[in-house]
């Protein structure tokens, strides 16, 4: 039993020896383990020994482990305290090298750069108004044509036959009117004769009545005389009715004559429309037919625009509308192929853009302007003179309304109001701005820094 306890004690001692190297705290826990001292006490009690043997065992099992652990702890603490320290690297703030522009407050008239497209306010689509074959096309796309010039000729043979029919119909109506008038004149004369016959019949009737009353003639003769009066009266009524209806018949014939005349005029007009001519001096935009095609009523054959109606349509930002709506004359300049043109403002659009909030403006081009419809152009619009403003290069702008001023080698953001553009002394384009914080001599950054922010350290070139 004592031998077994000794083995257990040796095992715990070995555990204590092997575990203190990686961790001193863990070795101390093994040293003061209750189980270890219990086994040690039982071994000493169950194995009587001399004082020398006990002292040697105490040194071996208690003092020696303590010395080893203490030495290890001392070495660990010494190494930790004498470890060389790494010096802290000082933090140096980076400085950004920038270019600058010196502010000079001036009084200047800003110029607004506008981009627009050339349009024609007077554009027509020439269509066929008759059904006919295309006989000849005398215009080409892009060609300059004069007012009244024949552009397309249609085959007029069918329309010529229609015109002849309308003329014949009108002649027929004219003859019927003349016949009606003749009949009326004859009926008028016949009425006078029939009235005279009626007077004779009435005299005869009176005479026969007297003879019959005196029993000098048979009653049959009276009946015959009465019959003649009645027949003549009926003939007079028919003749009078015919005469009374003459104005109605004549009006009806005259209406037919007017209708035939209108049809004749339409036929003449259709015949004229076989010659499709330019309604004004202009340029041909497109030709949509060729000789031999069958043109139907309403088919588009050619489109063109009036060269005197050219204008430039450009959108005006909302902040400049007050000046344009003030009623003062507004003009824009256009430079094209070395030629400078002045374009007066004609009108403003009646609706605003839903995407940008601006309003379209229409500037009138000179009649001889060598520009085509659809061409994109740049205009320069002169605005009223502004007081105490600064002209800066475009590189000094950050976004739409911000610049950076250098104060004590650090950036300071300033919110500005853009007024327009102005030409520099060297011909460069400068932006006119206004801000209450700007003063003469201020330095503005003209280098576009991706991390520009108030307080950023900079140095000028």
Close Cβ partners of 46 (under 8 Å, ≥ 6 residues apart)? 1, 2, 5
The sign one gets for the Cα dihedral 56, 60, 62, 65 is positive
Between the CA atoms of 448, 449, 452 and 457, what dihedral angle is there, to the nearest 10 degrees?
-120
Distance (Å, whole) CA 138 – CA 147: 14
Tokens 């715990």 locate to 12
- In 20-125, where does DSSP find H-type helix? 24-31, 34-46, 51-58, 64-81
Element (H, E) at 201: helix 157-213
Tell how strand 339-352 and strand 150-154 pair up.
Answer: unpaired
CA distances from 164 to 93, 157, 173, 253 (A): 102, 11, 14, 20
Residue 28 confidence (pLDDT):
43
pTM of the model: 0.56
Distance (Å, whole) CA 7 – CA 42: 13
- In 214-359, where does DSSP find H-type helix? 219-244, 246-272, 321-324
For all residues of the chain together, what is the average pLDDT? 83
CA distances from 236 to 176, 191, 200, 228, 239 (A): 25, 7, 14, 12, 5
Residue 15 confidence (pLDDT):
41
Of 403, 379, 381, 418, the closest CA to residue 452 belongs to 403
Which residues in the chain land under pLDDT 70?
Answer: 1-52, 85-89, 354-357
CA distances from 397 to 163, 403, 426, 445 (A): 75, 5, 20, 9
Residue 65 confidence (pLDDT):
82
Tokens 């976004």 locate to 399
**At CA 45, angle to CA 41 and CA 51, rounded to 5?**
95
Residue 51 confidence (pLDDT):
66
379-431 residue pLDDT tens: 988 888 888 999 999 999 998 889 999 999 999 999 998 888 888 878 788 89
Distance (Å, whole) CA 208 – CA 224: 9
Element (H, E) at 159: helix 157-213
The structure tokens listed for 297 are 């009523």
């Amino acid at each position: 039993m004592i031998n077994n306890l000794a083995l257990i004690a040796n095992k715990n001692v070995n555990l204590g020896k092997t575990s203190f190297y990686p961790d001193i705290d863990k070795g101390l826990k093994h040293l003061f383990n209750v189980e270890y001292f219990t086994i040690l006490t039982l071994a000493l009690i169950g194995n009587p020994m001399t004082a020398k043997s006990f002292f040697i065992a105490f040194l071996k099992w208690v003092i020696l482990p303590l010395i080893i652990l203490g030495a290890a702890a001392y070495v660990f603490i010494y190494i930790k305290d004498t470890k060389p320290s790494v010096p802290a690297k000082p933090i140096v703030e980076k400085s950004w090298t920038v270019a600058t522009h010196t502010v000079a407050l001036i009084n200047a008239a800003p110029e607004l750069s506008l981009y627009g497209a050339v349009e024609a306010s007077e554009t027509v689509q020439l269509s066929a108004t008759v059904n006919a074959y295309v006989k000849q096309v005398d215009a080409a796309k892009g060609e300059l044509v004069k007012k009244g010039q024949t552009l397309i000729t249609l085959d007029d043979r069918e329309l010529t036959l229609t015109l002849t029919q309308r003329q014949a119909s009108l002649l027929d109506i004219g003859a019927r009117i003349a016949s009606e008038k003749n009949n009326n004149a004859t009926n008028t004369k016949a009425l006078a004769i029939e009235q005279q016959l009626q007077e004779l019949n009435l005299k005869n009737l009176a005479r026969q009545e007297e003879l019959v009353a005196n029993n000098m003639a048979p009653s049959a003769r009276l009946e015959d005389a009465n019959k003649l009066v009645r027949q003549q009266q009926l003939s007079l009524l028919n003749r009078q009715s015919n005469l009374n209806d003459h104005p109605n018949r004549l009006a009806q014939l005259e209406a037919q004559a007017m209708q035939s005349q209108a049809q004749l005029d339409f036929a003449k007009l259709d015949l004229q429309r076989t010659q499709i001519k330019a309604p004004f001096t202009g340029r041909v935009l497109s030709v949509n037919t060729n000789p031999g095609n069958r043109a139907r009523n309403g088919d588009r054959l050619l489109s063109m625009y009036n060269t005197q109606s050219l204008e430039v349509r450009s959108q005006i930002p909302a902040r400049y509308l007050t000046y344009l709506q003030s009623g003062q004359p507004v003009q824009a300049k256009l430079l094209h192929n070395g030629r400078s043109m002045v374009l007066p403002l004609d009108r403003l659009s009646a609706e605003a853009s839903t995407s940008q909030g601006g309003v379209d403006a229409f500037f009138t081009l000179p009649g001889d302007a060598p520009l085509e419809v659809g061409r994109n152009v740049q205009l320069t619009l002169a605005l009223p003179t502004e007081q105490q403003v600064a002209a800066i290069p475009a590189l000094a702008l950050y976004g739409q309304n911000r610049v950076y001023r250098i104060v004590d080698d650090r950036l300071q953001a300033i919110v500005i109001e853009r007024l327009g553009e102005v030409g520099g002394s060297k011909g460069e384009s400068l932006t006119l701005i206004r801000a209450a914080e700007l003063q003469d001599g201020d330095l503005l950054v003209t280098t576009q820094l991706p991390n520009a922010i108030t307080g950023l350290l900079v140095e000028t070139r």
